[in-house]
Structure 1
Amino acid sequence: MTSKPSGPLLPGATLGVMGGGQLGRMFVHAAQQLGYRTAVLDADEDSPAGTVSHLHVRTGYLDEAGLAQLASVSQAITTEFENVPAAALTRLAQQRPVAPGADAVAIAQDRAQEKAHFTRCGVPCAPHAVIEKPEQLQAVSDDFLPGVLKTSRLGYDGKGQVRVADRAALARAWEELRRVPCVLEKLLPLAAECSVVVARGADGAMVHLPVQRNLHRNGILAVTEVGPGVLPDATARQAIEATRAIAEGVSYVGVLCVEFFLLQDGSLVVNEMAPRPHNSGHWSLDGADVSQFELQVRAMAGLPLTQPRQHSAAVMLNLLGDLWFTGGREQPPAWDRVLELPGAHLHLYGKAQARAGRKMGHLTFTAADLASARDTALRACGLLGLEPF
C-alpha cells in the first residue's frame, strides 16, 4: 500500500528520481537548492544525475533490490525519462507516492494510446492510422499518404520514424521497422512548432510556462524562442488550454510537456506529450522566476505551485556532440568567446564523451526583448559553427 504523507514534504526529505540523464541532473540541482536530499536510480556509474546526487542506486530500472532501496530512502519518487518501464513505477507506487503515475507514463510510451488520449480530451491531432497487423496495413486510407510511419513505442528525437510517399514505401518502411506496432500520421503543411509545459499538483492546482516556439533539425530540438509575440495570442491560448485538458484527462501529477504543430491555415494540432520536463523548457532556468525543474520538485513534494513569471525574453540553443568535432578533431568549443556575449547562460550536462547527436548541454540567451535575444543567439551560432535560424 502506498505510504502517503499527511502534508507537504518539506526540505530535508529525500526525493527519488528514476533515470540519471541531464533532466535528472537538473531536477537534482533544483531539489538540492530547495534543501532536499536526492536519490537517483540508474545503472550507469557516470550518469549525469547520479554523479551529483546524494545517493546513486546503480541498478537497472526493473531490479527488485534497486527499486526497494530507492523506495526505502525516498519519501516521493519521480521520473526524468518516459521510457522507464511503467511496471517499475507501479512497483514503487506500492510503497511511495510516484509522480507522474504509471498510467500517465504508459500513455506517453505508446503513440496509439497517446492519440486515443488526445481524442478523448477533445484535442485535435493529425489524421492517423494504427498499424499492428498486415490487414491494417492493407486497410490504410490513401488520405493518410504521404505520411510518417512511427513506431508506437521507444521512439524519441526522430528515432523510429520513416517518411513514406505512397503505399509501396509504406510497406517497405513497415518491413524495415520489423513489423512492430506503428502509427502512420498524415504529413501536414506546417508553419511552426510549439510546446507548452504545465505543472499539476495532486490537489488539481495547475500552472504553466509561456508558449515556446521550437525549431527541430533531424528530429532533434535545435532552437526554442520564448517571449511576447513569438506566436499569435489566440494560438498561444489554445495551446495552453489544450495542454491543461490533456493533463486533467489523466489526473496528471508532475511536470508535463505537450508539443504542437501550427499549420499553415492557422489551426493547431497536437503532436506528442512528454511526462517530464522538456528540452524546450530549459530556458526557464534563466528566463523565469520558477523553472520547470523547481515546478517538478514542488509538484511531487506537495508544495504550492506558483505561476511562473517570465522576466526575460529567451532563446535556447541545444548543444549536440557534433560541436566538439567541428575542427576535424575532438576539442571543446570556444566557450570563452561565447560567454563574452551579453545574457549568455551555459549549461553543460557532465557527459564525459561527446558523440554526434548526443545532447551535451544548452545555451540560453536572455534579453529585454526577443529581437535582442535572437540577435545574440545568432552571434553565438556564428562563433560555434551552428546553422543560423
Structure 2
Amino acid sequence: MYKENDSVNRKVFLTGGLGYIGSHTAVSLIEAGYSVVIYDNFSNSKKEVIDRIELITGFRVPFIEGDVRDTVYLEKSLKKHEVDSVIHLAGLKSVGESFSKPIKYYDNNVVGTVSLLKAMNGAQVRTMVFSSSATIYGVPKYLPLGEDHPTCAINPYGRSKLQTEEILFDLAVAGIQAEQLPWCIASLRYFNPVGAHSSGLIGENPNGIPTNLMPYVGRVASGVLPKLNIFGGDYDTQDGTGVRDYIHIVDLAEGHKAALGFLAKHSGAHAFNLGTGVGYSVLEVIEAYERASGQSVPYEIVSRRTGDVAACYANPSKANKELGWRALLTLEDMCASAWNFQSNQ
C-alpha cells in the first residue's frame, strides 16, 4: 500500500465521485487527510452514496451536481472550492453499449474531458489523475501487459480512453514547450475493479442490469437474476472462458492516492497499470464467489461477445516501483467483500 506523506494537492475534486470507483477513492483520500469535493450527474450513481461516505469517514463531503461537459459551471466550481487537483472518473464504461452508441461515448468520455481541461486551465489547476483502462491495449501481443505494450483499442469505449490519453500527453508536452505552468498528469490504466468496502456500505451497484461480471454474479447468487451468461467457452485459456486481472476496489482506490503523491513531485504525463499481475478465468471467479457466499451461481455458456479478448492481465511493476503502490487483496477478499455488500442491499 502507499504510505501518505505531507504532499501538496490536498484539496481534490472528484468527477464521477459518487460512482463505484469514485466513492471508494473518496473514502481513501479522506482517511489520508485530503479534502474532497465530489462532482457527479447521477448517470450511473445514487445520491445516497454521499450519506454512506459520511457514515464511513465521519465527514460530509461537499457535493456538486453537474455534467463534465458544462465547462463554465466546472470552472466556477473549481475556483469556488479552491481545488488543487482533479481525479477524473466521470465517463461511460460499457464495452457492449459503446458499439451501439459510439457518439454517446465519444461525447461523454472525450468531449467531456476536453471540457474539464478547459475548466482546469481557466482555474489554474494543472494536476490530474485520469481514469483510463487496459482496454486501450486491444488484443495482447504478449502477456503480462506492460505500459510499453502497443496500444490498439478494438472497441469504441477503449478508443475513447486511448484518444483521451493522447490528448493528455499532447497537453503535457505543449505546456513544457511553451514554458507554462506545467501539467502534472497520471493516467491510471485499470484492469478489472471488483469487490467492495469492508463496511458493506459502498460497492458496485450499477443502475439497471450490470454489465460487469462481479455485480452480475452477485445478483444471480442473491436470486435477483436467474443465471449468468458466460460469453465464450472456447477461448485458448485453461478452461475456455475469458481470463482477466481482477483488482480489489480498495487497492485501486489506494492507487489514486499514490498517484497524487507521485504528481506532487513529477510534472508531465505518466501512465501506470493498476492490476495484480494475476489472471483468473470467469469460471474461477464463479467458484470463488460460490465459496464466499455459500450460494450457487447458475450459468450458461453462450457465444463470444464482440470486442472481448481471451486473456488480459497486467505487469504492475512500474506502479510498484514509481508509485510505491501494490495490490494486496486476494480474489477471496474480492468475492467476500462483494457478497457482503450485495447482502446489505
TM-score range (shorter-chain normalised) is 0.3 to 0.5
Specify the structure having the higher radius of gyration (Cα).
1
Q: Report the TM-score when normalising by structure 1.
A: 0.37
| Greater fraction strand | 1
| Greater fraction helix | 2
> Which has the bigger relative contact order, CA under 8 A and spacing at least 6?
2
Q: Report the TM-score when normalising by structure 2.
A: 0.40
